[in-house]
């Protein structure tokens, strides 16, 4: 016959369960990981019904993004009768995913043997998504800063060397030029080209149209030779003079600096 104390304890345990079910995503499994209980919050976030979950392995919500070593650590911990805590990405019924902050607790009987495992989880999907967006924006901003630094460095190089210089991208579009380069051309003859140059839409093909002696520039990319750890250098000798270019290796877009020099 139940005593008043036992009745009160049983009622108190039911109240505790009510609180936990209302505030956490809860599941219970047997010692082999077969689901024996799930609460409404578990069904709601996963998209599965109780009928689809009870009696199935808890792996039904294991997301392929989760590395196997994470679950090896989990099982090793709880089978040692210790509590495991960690962040887990789980799989929804529709193929989507959700992130939880999980606590897995081994339940012991009077003889200190494990009889089941209880999992309590907090939905942190929105937090993880915000962190990923911040990382994405930080990465985008870092690239923009790096590109700007390289651009400023290129401009400084062009200004500091007293020979006609231009920088071009991998598609031969002219990115920057110095005053010496601009002075190479007769303004009346090269009016259209210089207008395009000023408007940042000039291409090296336009230089070739103005001066056939520089058509060697089309071939110089195929003749790169190692100069040192920082630069690649290519050169071309001609009767009319010498043409050469420098390319910073660190620039994945292959920005070239072309110098026009008389031999």
Highest mean pLDDT among 107-121, 142-156, 236-250: 107-121
Residue 149 vs residues 22, 142, 146, 250: alpha-carbon distances, Å:
53, 10, 5, 12
Closest CA to 173 of 195, 215, 205: 205
- Grouping H, G, I as helix, E, B as strand and the rest as coil, residue 34 is strand
- Cβ neighbours of residue 71 under 8 Å, at least 6 residues apart? 62
Residue 59 vs residues 27, 104, 115, 118, 257: alpha-carbon distances, Å:
12, 15, 19, 15, 57
Residues 90 and 46: beta-carbon distance below 8 Å: yes
Highest mean pLDDT among 134-143, 171-180, 219-228, 245-254: 171-180
Assigned CATH topology for domain 4-123: Beta-Lactamase (3.30.450)
Domain parsing of the chain, residue ranges: 4-123, 145-261
Determine how many CB atoms are found less than 10 A away from the CB of residue 101: 17
Rounded to a whole number, what is the distance in angstroms from the first to the last CA of the chain? 111
- Higher-confidence position of 137 and 232: 137
pLDDT in tens, 193-214: 888 888 888 887 787 677 655 5
Query: Would the pTM of this model clear 0.75, i.e. be above it?
Result: no
Does the pLDDT at position 80 exceed 60?
yes
Does the pLDDT at position 105 exceed 90?
yes
Given the candidates 3.30.450, 1.10.3470, 1.10.10, 3.40.50, the CATH classification of the domain at 145-261 is 3.30.450
- Please tell me if the domain spanning 4-123 has the same topology as the one spanning 145-261: yes
Number of residues assigned to the chain? 263
- Higher-confidence position of 122 and 218: 122
Does the pLDDT at position 246 exceed 60?
no
When pLDDT is cut at 50, 70 and 90, the band that residue 104 belongs to is very high
When pLDDT is cut at 50, 70 and 90, the band that residue 83 belongs to is very high
Average pLDDT over residues 206-235: 50
């Amino acid at each position: 016959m139940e005593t008043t104390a036992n009745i009160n304890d049983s009622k108190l345990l039911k109240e505790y369960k009510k609180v936990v079910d209302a505030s956490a995503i809860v599941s219970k499994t047997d010692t082999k990981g077969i689901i024996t209980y799930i609460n409404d919050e578990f069904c709601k976030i996963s998209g599965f019904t109780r009928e689809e979950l009870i009696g199935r392995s808890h792996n039904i919500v294991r997301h392929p993004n989760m590395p196997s070593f994470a679950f090896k650590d989990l099982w090793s911990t709880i089978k040692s009768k210790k509590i495991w805590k960690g962040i887990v990405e789980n799989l929804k019924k529709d193929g989507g995913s959700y992130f939880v902050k999980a606590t897995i607790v081994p339940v012991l009987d009077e003889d200190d043997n494990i009889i089941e495992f209880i999992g309590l989880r907090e939905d942190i999907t929105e937090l993880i998504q915000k962190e990923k967006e911040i990382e994405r924006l930080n990465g985008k901003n870092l690239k923009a800063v790096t590109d700007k630094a390289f651009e400023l460095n290129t401009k400084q190089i062009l200004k500091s060397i007293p020979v006609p210089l231009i920088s071009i991208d991998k598609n031969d579009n002219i990115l920057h030029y110095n005053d010496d380069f601009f002075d190479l051309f007769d303004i009346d003859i090269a009016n259209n080209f210089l207008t395009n140059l000023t408007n940042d839409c000039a291409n090296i093909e336009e230089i070739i149209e103005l001066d056939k002696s520089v058509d060697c520039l089309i071939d110089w990319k195929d003749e790169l030779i190692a100069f040192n750890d920082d630069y690649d250098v290519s050169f071309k000798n001609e009767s009319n003079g010498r043409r050469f270019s420098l390319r910073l290796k660190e620039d994945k877009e292959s920005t070239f600096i072309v110098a026009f020099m008389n031999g």
